[in-house]
Structure formats: C-alpha cells, structure tokens
A = this chain, B = another copy of it.
C-alpha cells in the first residue's frame, strides 16, 4: 500500500473586478500573476517563503513562463491553483500550475514557470543546497517520485 505525498494545500481566492476586461472575462495577463501568487503561497507553506529567502540574500527571478488558456475565468468566482514542483536541482526550479474554477470545476488554465536562485549583489546563480540546506531539503522532498530517487 502506498501513501500519497500530498504537498502544500492549493491556493485559492476570488476573481477581482479589476482583473476582468471588456470581453467580460479575466484578462489573460492575470493568470501569470495568479501563478506567482500560488507559487509564493506554496513556498510559504513549505517554510521557504520569499521573504525568508530574500532575507538570506537570495532572489528567485523568473526565467520563463507559459500558459495555456482553457476556459475563461469569471468575476467573483473562486479560482483554485494546484502548484507542483516539476524539477529542481538546487539552482534551477520548475513549477507546474493547474487553475480551476471552484464553483464550476472547469480547468481554466494550466502552465509552467522556471526560476533560478540568484545573488542580487553578484548577479550569479546560487545553489540553494549550499546557501540554505534546510530550505533545499524542504523543496527536494516535494519533487515527483521518479525524480526523487
């Protein structure tokens, strides 16, 4: 019998009016912000919050992002973002997101983002394993099983 590693709870909040556009749905640029909100929440839940990491002198800029739009999100509905760690080697990290409507169940969008750990003073990539082994450990255990062996 296997135990499923659950990971952090999904991120959810209501769609704001200023996030809609004159098509009557959420403007597509906002999903990139939702990914960022969900990622920040994910990191906070595992004890590796952005504020902590910035306190250690680390920044985590975005290297790339992609999003596929499935169903338009509507004002006032609650969206739910499931965030998963796709890959992580201490320096580079990739997340995958699924955004669903809580009320309708529909998949609204899905996407990925890639990041690296950086020292803002030098601009050089940093290995989290060396800079903060505890944060590294907290993250590495959330990798999918096949990458975690």
Contacts and interface: CB of A to CB of B under 8 A. Distances in A.
Main SS class of interface, A: mixed
Interface residues of A, number: 37
B61 A68 contact: no
A28 B66 contact: no
Contact of A75 (B24, B51, B64): B51
Interface string A43-72: 010000111000000010111111111001
Given A23-B59, A61-B69, A64-B66, 14 more contacts: A16-B37, A22-B23, A23-B61, A25-B61, A28-B32, A28-B36, A28-B62, A29-B32, A29-B33, A32-B65, A50-B75, A50-B76, A63-B68, A66-B67
List of 7 A-B pairs having minimum Cβ-Cβ separation, nearest first: A66-B66, A20-B22, A28-B62, A29-B32, A51-B76, A18-B27, A22-B24
Interface of A: 13, 16-18, 20-25, 27-30, 32-33, 36-37, 40, 44, 49-51, 59, 61-69, 72, 75-76, 120
